[in-house]
Structure 1
Amino acid sequence: MKLNESRQNLLNRVKSRLVQIAFDNVKKSNPLIETNIGKFSLQLPFDHQLPFIIKRSPYYSTNLARIARKVNEKYVDLKFIDIGANVGDSVALLRSEATFPVLCIEGDDYFFSILERNASRFSDVYLAKNYVGEITTEVNAVSVELGGTAHLLQNAANESKISIKKISTILNDYPLFKTSKMLKVDTDGFDNKIIRGSADFLENAKPVIFFEYDPYFLSQQNDDGISIFSTLVGLGYNKLLIYENDGEFLLSADTDNRMLLEDITYFYTGRKGLRYCDICAFHKEDNDIFENVRLDEIKFFSQVRSSKK
C-alpha cells in the first residue's frame, strides 16, 4: 500500500513538473490566444494580464462602454478617440454597447501589430500609430512592455528617437475626429500631460473625458496629479465620476472640490500602481449626461449587489 502511494506521489510530481515546463515554454514563446472581451473574441498575447483581471474583476472597463452608450444617446453622431488603445480591448467593449466610429491611437510597435489584427474585425475603426504627449517633439526613450501594457522609459540603454505628438497634430490626419465627443486616455502616467496638451482640442470639441488617475505613475513623470483638475475647471469641466480601478463606481464630485480631490489623491498614493482610480470628466454643457450616467451607475451596481445576496 505504501509502495503504491509512493509511486503515485512520484507520478504526480513528474506530471506537475512536465505541466510547469510546458507552461514555461508557452509563456516564453508568448503566442496569441483568442479571448472573449465583451461580446467579441480578440487575440491577446499569452502573457497579457487582461483575462486574469476580468476574471477577478468582471466589471473592469465596462463603465467606459456604459458611459459611451449614454453619450451616444445625446450625440447620435458620436466619434470616440482611444489614446493608449493597446490591443483594441476598449473597442470590443464599446461595440458591445453601441456602434460609432473609433480612432485607436497606440505607439508601441508590438501592441499596434496586434491592434491591427483585432481592429480588422470591426467596421469604422481607424488606427494611428503614435505616442501622444503634452507637446509635439522627439525624445530619446525605449518602449518597455510588461504584462500586457507598455510605457516609454527614458535614460535607458539602447534608446532611440521616438516621436511624440499632441492630439491636435494627430487629428490633422484624421479630421473626422476633430469634433469627437468622447476621449479615453490610458497611458500609465502620461495621462495628465496628454490632457494638458489637448487643451485646444478640448476647448473646441468639449468631449467627455475618461482617464486613468494613478498617483504612482504620475509621480514617475514628475506630475503632481492634483493640478489637472484646475486645468479641467479652466476648460469648463465641472463634474466628475470616480471609479475604482476594478470598474466599480466610487463617487461623484465637483471638479473644483479641491479638498475631496486631495483626499482621493492621498488615498491612492503609495499603492505602486496596484490600486488607482479612473475618472470621467463632463463639460458643463453635458451636465445632463452626467446626471443620467450617475443615476444609471448607482442603479447598475445596486442591482449587481442585490444579485449577490
Structure 2
Amino acid sequence: MPDSVLGKVVWRLRQIVWRLRLMMLARLPDKPVRRSIRGVPMTLPRAHGLPYFTRPGTAYLRNLVELGRSLAASEGSVCVLDIGANVGDTALVVLDQAPGSAVCVEPDPMWHGYLATNVGAMPNVAVEHSVLVGPDTEQVMGLAIRRHPVGSSIVERTEAGQGLATITTTALLEKFPQLGNVRLVKSDTDGYDITLVDAVTVTFAASRPVVFFELDPRPTHLVMPEVVIADLWDKLVERGYERAVVWDNGGSLLGDWPVAEMAERSAVLDLSIQERGYGYWDVAVAHKDDPAGLAALDAAAAATRAR
C-alpha cells in the first residue's frame, strides 16, 4: 500500500476514534476537566469538542493564533475582542503567543464559570456577560439560548426570553476604553456574525482591526432571515477592507481573495455540505491602509497553507 494511501487510512481511523470518544463523553455526566489546547492548559466541560478539533494533525485555531502573533510582532502587542468567547480559549491561545490584552464577550451563563476559571485571574483580560448588538440600538426580541457540546447559539423569539443582558458595540467601547486600539476581532456567534462584523467595522473604524468571523448561511438564515449575506462584502469594500483569507471550519486554507470578489465566491456556501466537502467558512479581512493587518493575513495563510 503506498505511503500516501496508508497515511489517509490512518488519519481516517484516528478521526473515527476521536469521534467515538466524543460521543461516549457526551453520554457521561458532565464535569470540569483540565485539558491542554495548543499547548495551553485550560478547564473545559468533559464533553467539550476542543480537544477533538485541535487533535494532532489539525489546523483549528492556528489561523487565529498566527493573526495575533503577527500583529503583536509588528506593533509590540495586540488588543483582542473575542465575541462568543465560550471558555476563553481564543484569548488563552492567542495571548500565549502574543503579548497584549483581550475583552471576552459571552452571554451564556453556562460558560461564565469556565471563563472565570480560565481568564478571571488574568489582569490583561476583561469579561462582558452580555449579548453584543450594535452599534447604536439595543432593540432585540426575546432571547433564548440553544446549547450544544461546543458552545451556545442565541436565538430570537417573540415570547419573553431568558432575560439576557445586551450591550451595543458603542457602549462596549465606552465600558472598555482599551478597545479604542483593538487590532483583532473574533466573532463566533452562530448566525449573528454578519451583523456584528458590520457593527464592529463601524464602531472600531479608528483602529482598523483585522476581523475574523464565522460565515455559515444555515444559522444566519435561521436567526436573521432578512439578512442578505452578499451585502456585507459591499459594506466592507466601502469601509476600506480590501482583502480576505478564507479557511474551512477545520482551519484548512481555502483561498486568499479581494473582498470585492467575495460576494461571488461565497456562493459556494449555498451548496450542500456534501458538495463542498466542509461545514462553513472562517474568514479574516484586513483594511487596505493597515500594513500590519495585511502582513498578518499573509502569515496566517502561510502557516495554514504549509500544513
Equivalent position amino acid for 1:232 in 2: L
Contact 1:38 1:96 in 2 (8 A): no
Equivalent position amino acid for 2:182 in 1: S
Shift in Å, 1:216: 1.2
Please identify, of 152-161 and 135-144, the stretch whose mean Cα deviation from structure 2 is larger.
152-161
Which whole-Å deviations, capped at 9, do the CAs of 1:191-231 have from their partners, x for residues lacking one?
01112223432322211111111111111121222211111
DSSP 3-state at the match of 2:294: helix
Shift in Å, 1:158: 6.8
Contact 1:208 1:280 in 2 (8 A): yes
Identity in percent: 19
Aligned to 1:34: 34
Q: When the two structures are aligned, how many residues end up with a matched partner?
A: 279
Shift in Å, 1:74: 2.3
2:239 matched to 1:235?
A: yes
Q: 1:159 and 1:185, CA in 2 relative to 1: closer, same or farther beyond 3 A?
A: same
Q: 1:54 and 1:168, CA in 2 relative to 1: closer, same or farther beyond 3 A?
A: same
Structure 2 matches for 1:57-76, cutoff 5 A? 58-76=58-76
Q: 1:270 and 1:57, CA in 2 relative to 1: closer, same or farther beyond 3 A?
A: farther
DSSP 3-state at the match of 1:115: helix
Equivalent position amino acid for 2:290 in 1: D
Q: 1:138 and 1:297, CA in 2 relative to 1: closer, same or farther beyond 3 A?
A: closer
Shift in Å, 1:292: 5.6
DSSP 3-state at the match of 1:101: strand
What is the distance in 1 between the residues matched to 2:217 and 2:98?
32
Contact 1:40 1:92 in 2 (8 A): yes
Equivalent position amino acid for 2:168 in 1: K
What is the distance in 1 between the residues matched to 2:84 and 2:97?
20
DSSP 3-state at the match of 1:136: coil
What is the distance in 2 between the residues matched to 1:123 and 1:163?
24
Which whole-Å deviations, capped at 9, do the CAs of 1:32-67 have from their partners, x for residues lacking one?
111111221111112212222222762101110101
Aligned to 1:206: 208
Equivalent position amino acid for 2:220 in 1: L
Q: 1:121 and 1:57, CA in 2 relative to 1: closer, same or farther beyond 3 A?
A: farther
Of 195, 198, 204 in structure 2, the residue corresponding to residue 196 of structure 1 is: 198
Shift in Å, 1:301: 4.2
Contact 1:183 1:209 in 2 (8 A): yes
What is the distance in 1 between the residues matched to 2:251 and 2:130?
27
2:97 matched to 1:93?
A: no
What is the distance in 2 between the residues matched to 1:203 and 1:301?
28
Structure 2 matches for 1:1-309, cutoff 5 A? 27-55=27-55, 58-120=58-120, 122-134=122-134, 135-155=137-157, 159-220=161-222, 221-222=224-225, 223-257=227-261, 260-267=262-269, 269-271=271-273, 275-287=279-291, 289-291=293-295, 293-294=297-298, 296-297=299-300, 299-301=302-304, 303-304=306-307
Equivalent position amino acid for 2:252 in 1: E
Say which one has the larger Rg. Answer: 1
Contact 1:242 1:280 in 2 (8 A): yes
TM-score by length of 1: 0.81
Which whole-Å deviations, capped at 9, do the CAs of 1:65-90 have from their partners, x for residues lacking one?
10111111222242111111000111
Aligned to 1:8: none
What is the distance in 1 between the residues matched to 2:228 and 2:253?
24
Which whole-Å deviations, capped at 9, do the CAs of 1:166-192 have from their partners, x for residues lacking one?
222112111111221111111111001
TM-score by length of 2: 0.82
DSSP 3-state at the match of 2:229: coil
Shift in Å, 1:291: 4.4
Contact 2:208 2:287 in 1 (8 A): yes
Q: 1:298 and 1:162, CA in 2 relative to 1: closer, same or farther beyond 3 A?
A: closer
DSSP 3-state at the match of 1:154: strand
Which whole-Å deviations, capped at 9, do the CAs of 1:219-257 have from their partners, x for residues lacking one?
112122221111111111111111111111211111112
Unmatched segments (≥5 aa) in structure 2: 1-20
